[in-house]
Amino acid sequence: MLVLTCHACGVTAEETEFHAGGEAHLKRFGPGSSDEDFEEYLFMRANPKGVHFERWRHANGCGKWFHVARDTMTLEVFGSYSAQAFAPPEELLSRIEDRRPGWRGQD
Amino acid sequence: MSEPVSALKNISDLNGIAAIREIGPLGMITLRGDLSDRAVQDAAKTAGGANAPDQRKINAEGDGGVAWMSPDELLILCRYDEVPLRMTNLQAGLSKGHALAANVSDARAVFEVSGPRAREVLAKLAPVDLTPGQFEPGMMRRTRLAQVPAAFWMTDAETFRIVCFRSVAQYVFDLLKIAAQPGSEVDFF
Amino acid sequence: MSTRLATGGRLLNKAKPVNFTFNGKNLRGYEGDTLASALLANDQMLVGRSFKYHRPRGIVAAGPEEPNALVNLGAEGRFEPNARATTTPLFDGLQAASQNHWPSLEFDVGAINKHLSRFLPAGFYYKMFMYPRAAWKHVYEPFIRQSAGLGKAPKATDVDTYEHFYAFCDVLIIGGGVAGLHAALTAGKSGARVIVMEQSDHWGGRAPVDGGTVDGQPVDKFVDGMVTELETLENVTLRRNCMGAGVYDHGYVLGYERLRDDSPHVQGPRHRLWRVRAAHIITATGAIERPLSFAGNDIPGVMLAAAVRDYLVNHGVSVGDRTVVVTNNDNAYLTAIALKHAGLDVPAIVDARVLPQDSQLMEQAKALGIRVMMGHGIASVKGGKRVTGVEICAQAGEGAVLEEISCDAVAMSGGWSPVVHLWSHCGGKLRWDTTQACFSPDVDNPPLGADGMGFVTPAGAASGVFALDDVLNDAFAAADGVMTSLGFDVPRDLKSPEAERRQDAPMMPVWLMPQGASVKLREKAWLDYQNDVKVSDVRLAAQEGFVSVEHAKRYTTLGMATDQGKLSNINGLATLAGALDADIPSVGTTTFRPPYHPISMASIAGEARGTVFQPIRRTPMHDWHDTHGAEWEPVGHWRRPYAYKQGGESTYDAVMREVTNTREKMGLLDASTLGKLIVKGPDAGRFLDMMYTNMMSTLKVGKCRYGLMCSENGFLIDDGVVARFDEDTWLCHTTTGGAERIHGHMEEWLQTEWWDWQVYVANVTEQYAQVAVVGPNARKALEKLGGMDVSKEALGFMDWADGELGGFKVRVYRISFSGELSYEIAVDASHGQAFWDALMVAGHDLGVMPYGTECLHILRAEKGFIMIGDESDGTIIPQDLGLHWAISKKKEDYLGKRAQERSHMTDPNRWQLVGLETTDGSVLPDGAYAVAEGENENGQRNMQGRVTSTYHSPTLGKGIAMGLVLNGPDRMGETLIFPGTDGKEYQAKIVNPVFYDPKGEKQNV
């Protein structure tokens, strides 16, 4: 059972306070979009063995969503960041680079 | 109008390792807004009689106070009968900006758990570090008690106030009673 | 025979005799005994029958690794099967009974299996029960059912209570032996928050039994000193009877504390499950002695050498008058020496090794006059229900008997294996130690925590060092390293104490005794006592191609019993490696999974049983319903009255009465469970237009509108009435049980997609008690209460207004889910019961009756209103339900709109909602399917529709139903056939789903 830090309220707590929300940074496609784009948005999900960006909600807590960067194999947590972001912050990306050199090429 | 009744009519259990009492009804107003906005801070102060607290803190005195609930939410505490007046004042103070104030006094149940072993009772139900020094009066914690969401703070070194949804008041009371059952001392803190 | 000695027994309180029973026999022990030591003190060596062959089995070990001594414990509400006698504390009144035999322990019919053992080899389940197929049901299964399992399942409800406890610390130390205690002192004095868990009820582990001196004092005094010092440290918590059961991700550990197992009648929880988060974990879990594989090594009286020593020193019990010690290492000599000192006979130490010179312990044994036979082994143990002697052979040979020694006990030692379970639970790797022939923690590959760093460190024997001074040095180094990594300063004067160094001769791996044992001997050499797996079974598995250790394990069931192979794993692996001609590390180990030792299911449940098994949500009027005949229906976690039974009427009659009464007079429904969400802000209208399929931004202040919500998949997820309070405030009603889900849904879109929109949502569901006042007399009742104007003119259909009724501050919604004149009235929950009472009084002369959810369902079905969860099931779009009128065509976007444009969603062959009416007035079975011509590719009949809701309508005097039917709306009047599970075929006509008052004249009065 993981321990995560809620980016919104700062609490570090066990997983039972949180609710997992799947892959982060999906781009929404609405009416007028192509079938391919819509399929990608609605159904296709990354399932990496290694570095992954996820959405979590502090459901039994402040109620806010936030993002987590995590290694799906070792369960190492690289950091939490705001849900109101289109991409992970640079500072976090370089921290991940330190821990997993060259991880970006592995996708 | 009738006399307001709390969910469990102020039931108590004093036989266990900590005293458990349902208190209230207490006045509670959810205030959502930009907490950095001066108007929101002032409105909260007027309504709760205390300054808006820092992240995960509570400024409370008696039944009045203000608790930090999330980055855009405060909980105003006051006497139950004062809620209509406080609501009116809040609405007036907030009328210019974008904010939401809602009376939630009746949507909640409040329990007091007290005694030297109050920490132990809570630590059986909430996945929170309640060691003295780690959790102290002035702090506000939203978490879960067994299977339901709850929030609590300490009014002194040996007393917790717990807020949960009204519909699960009986469940929470039963939980606390079991956690405080005689013979269940942990001797941890 | 085994017996209690006049002296000795360091853990006993001889002033406190204790009475207990075993298989109904009255026996006596002392406080401080385990059930096992007390049984041995009463010469009860035979304690059970083995799982497969029903061979007589005795106590082998003295701790949780015990494979045989499993008993049924207690009675009635305190009955527990498979309790280990070796970990069960003795108390006055304890009742134990042996397991897995019939009719008695002494004479067991199932023992015939041992003569069939030729037919029950490894994998016999797979081989025997394949053919003929019919035999499975009539022969094999009944046989297996009767003989499977060890203990009996409890029948009575557990009368005890259990609890969890959440604890946090810097260092959690698992194991209270010398290593654990010394590590605790080091960590404690460095200022860390420390918890020490010890599975037994005493400190010190093996050290006080094995002896030695530390800093010039006997090791037991050294242990006492450490405990005394630890007790003075406020930052250290010591827990005995508390087993570290499992290590999980991110420093999570379960500790299993047994509080009342020795005092079942004292008030308080029986077990407490500690849910600990530790920054670091030190596993000081010690080591377990391995048996040796020789023929007859399962005969009662053959025990682990260290266990023999434990019973002697700890409990003053001699397991036999004449004990032969058989070993491949020096440690077992301690047993021989201890027995001799206690005045017992040790006819020989049979040592498989051939050594150039005697070690310290060998010299000591010889000096006591014990015969030491180097290079020898046991060919076979003699005896049935008890050892009578051993046949000695050369270890190097094939088992030719050189001599027979009579004895009544055998103390064996095959070397020691560190307890690596907790190290391995969360991914710690192992390395093979060739010198000591054991797997020990590979400290360079620890389990990794949230920060990517190792969070478990082994200490003492658990890390693979066995000599007392090595253990203490290792424990100090472990604690010192952990403290430094956590940022604590270890006081400079702290160091490892000096322990006396004993020069032991190296052990020699022995995986089979004698080395070249024949098939006949191998078939009697047990590896796994509990699951009856022999050396020959593992060899057979290898021969048949089960070369992976995980496959061989499952094929032979080696290590799959409740002891999880604590004694058998390494011997089994070595045997497999031998059969494969591979080395042990390349064969590898099976996976160590928590818990280390079985823990009670009830401790896992904790407080969650009985009334608090799960939360039950109650409305403010719950107690009133309860005292007025409510039959409860669970709706999510809510309890809602299904119907209120009066007098002796049936539930069905009550529902029919409630429907008729509501249609003809007046009914009250507790609607408090409906979700109520306030949505406010400059962008609230725009937001709600995205949330709902219809337009909410155009709703006028003071008005209500029914709305549908879909997921981004296009499927219907909720419905409800929305009211507009003011320019930028709406109130959204959700379904019962939908409040939290829809609140979360709204927050998710606001926080993660449209975070720049100015909207706040508040869940005020429980702020209000809400009552639906329904029926032709509803207005009269409200007028009787007095207050606000509730006339048609002042408060028309789909209007809402704030006001006062009967002195209550209310908000009244003119909405109807029944088709009748209806007001849904919200009051503050603290006044809910009083308001309900007032309505009952006001409605008394108007025929008021409360009604429940089933009446509500019939009322809405008569009107053709859909119900989320009946007409929708997560695969239904609003268009399927003929709800096109509630789907805005003007809006560019709403959640689900794009999905509803997918080809499958616009397929004209999607089943559509219709009404269904049986041709004979009977009620269609719920969920029944309408059959069509022909068969599908699987040879099943084709379907063309299904029933989604079905009731008897007392209003119409016939069965009515709703269903989804292929091209349904175009097929009005057609008759469909619905085969029921009762074998009957039901015929129903397709009709308009609005059965009652299609023009809506009744609600709009």
Between CA C184 and CA C476 the distance in angstroms is: 9
- Asked whether residue C663 falls in the same domain as residue C796, the answer is yes
Q: Using one digit for the tens of pLDDT, what is the confidence trace for B73-107?
A: 999 999 999 999 999 999 999 988 999 999 999 99
Inter-chain residue contact A10 with B142, CB threshold 8 Å: no
Q: Which residue of B has its CA nearest to A18?
A: B143
User: Which of the listed residues C457, C486, C515 is the one where a domain comes to its end?
Assistant: C486
Contacts of residue A1 in chain C, CB cutoff 8 Å? 248-250, 252
Q: Which residue of B has its CA nearest to A6?
A: B70
Could you tell me the pLDDT band of residue C143, with boundaries at 50, 70 and 90?
A: low
C980 occurs within a structural domain: yes
Which comes out higher in pLDDT, residue C119 or C800?
A: C800
Task: Report whether pLDDT(C190) > 70.
Answer: yes
Of the candidates C608, C78, A17, C169, the one whose C-alpha atom is nearest the C-alpha of residue B179 is C608
Q: Using one digit for the tens of pLDDT, what is the confidence trace for C101-115?
A: 666 677 666 666 666
Domain count across chain A:
1
Residue B89, pLDDT score: 92
End-to-end CA distance of chain B: 47
Of the candidates C113, C35, C116, the one whose C-alpha atom is nearest the C-alpha of residue C68 is C35
- Asked whether residue C181 falls in the same domain as residue C73, the answer is no
Domain that holds residue C115: 1-156
Q: Assess whether the previous peptide bond of C514 is cis (omega < 30° from 0).
A: yes
Q: Using one digit for the tens of pLDDT, what is the confidence trace for C148-162?
A: 556 788 999 999 999
User: Average pLDDT, stretch C267-273?
Assistant: 97
Contacts 24+ apart (CB under 8 A), B167-170: B167/B7, B167/C617, B167/C618, B167/C619, B167/C638, B167/C766, B168/B109, B168/C615, B168/C616, B168/C617, B168/C618, B168/C637, B169/B6, B169/B7, B169/B8, B169/B22, B169/B109, B169/C618, B170/B7, B170/B8, B170/C616, B170/C618
Q: Enumerate neighbours of C (3 or more CB pairs within 8 A).
A: A, B
Sheet holding C387-394, edge to edge: C376-383, C387-394, C403-406
Task: Report whether pLDDT(A50) > 70.
Answer: yes
Q: Using one digit for the tens of pLDDT, what is the confidence trace for B111-129?
A: 999 999 999 999 999 999 9
Contacts 24+ apart (CB under 8 A), C228-232: C229/C185, C230/C181, C230/C184, C230/C185, C230/C188, C230/C196
ipTM at complex level: 0.98
Of the candidates C605, C654, C648, C608, the one whose C-alpha atom is nearest the C-alpha of residue C633 is C654
Could you tell me if C55 and C75 are in contact, meaning their C-beta atoms sit under 8 angstroms apart? no
The alpha-carbon gap from C248 to the nearest alpha carbon of chain A, in Å, equals 7
Residue C266, chain B, CB below 8 Å: the answer is: yes
Domain that holds residue A60: 3-106
Domain with residue C706: its CATH number is 3.30.70.1400
User: Average pLDDT, stretch A40-46?
Assistant: 96
C597 occurs within a structural domain: no
Domain count across chain C:
7
Q: Which of A8, A16, A60 comes nearest B70 by C-beta?
A: A8
Q: If contacts are CB pairs under 8 Å, which of residues 864-903 in chain C contact chain A?
A: 892-893, 897-899, 901-902
- Asked whether residue C295 falls in the same domain as residue C408, the answer is yes
Instruction: Give me the percent of chain C exceeding a pLDDT of 90.
Output: 89
Q: Using one digit for the tens of pLDDT, what is the confidence trace for C479-488?
A: 999 999 999 9
- Asked whether residue C118 falls in the same domain as residue C198, the answer is no
Amino acid symbol at C295: A
Residue C55, pLDDT score: 85
Indicate the CATH number of B12-179 among 3.30.300.30, 3.40.50.1100, 3.30.1360.120, 3.30.479.10. 3.30.1360.120
- Asked whether residue C4 falls in the same domain as residue C114, the answer is yes
Q: Using one digit for the tens of pLDDT, what is the confidence trace for C284-320?
A: 999 999 999 999 999 999 999 999 999 999 999 999 9
Domain with residue C538: its CATH number is 1.10.10.1100
Domain with residue A100: its CATH number is 3.30.2270.10
Could you tell me the pLDDT band of residue C131, with boundaries at 50, 70 and 90?
A: low
- What does the mean pLDDT of chain B come to? 96
Q: Enumerate neighbours of A (3 or more CB pairs within 8 A).
A: B, C
- Asked whether residue C274 falls in the same domain as residue C208, the answer is yes
- Contact pairs from chain A to chain C, CB under 8 Å: 67
Contacts of residue B104 in chain C, CB cutoff 8 Å? 762, 764, 767
Pairing, β C929-935 against β C822-828: unpaired
Residue C589, pLDDT score: 85
Buried b (16+ CB within 10 A) or exposed e, C852-882: bbbbbbbbbbbbbbbbbebbbeeebbbbbbb
User: Average pLDDT, stretch C552-575?
Assistant: 89
- Asked whether residue C649 falls in the same domain as residue C777, the answer is yes
Domain with residue C89: its CATH number is 3.10.20.440
Q: Which of C451, C755, C892 comes nearest A76 by C-beta?
A: C451
Q: Which of A42, A63, A76 comes nearest C713 by C-beta?
A: A42
Q: Which residue of B has its CA nearest to A63?
A: B70
- Asked whether residue C117 falls in the same domain as residue C19, the answer is yes
- Contact pairs from chain A to chain B, CB under 8 Å: 36
Inter-chain residue contact C615 with B147, CB threshold 8 Å: yes
User: Which position has the token pair 């109520």?
Assistant: C676
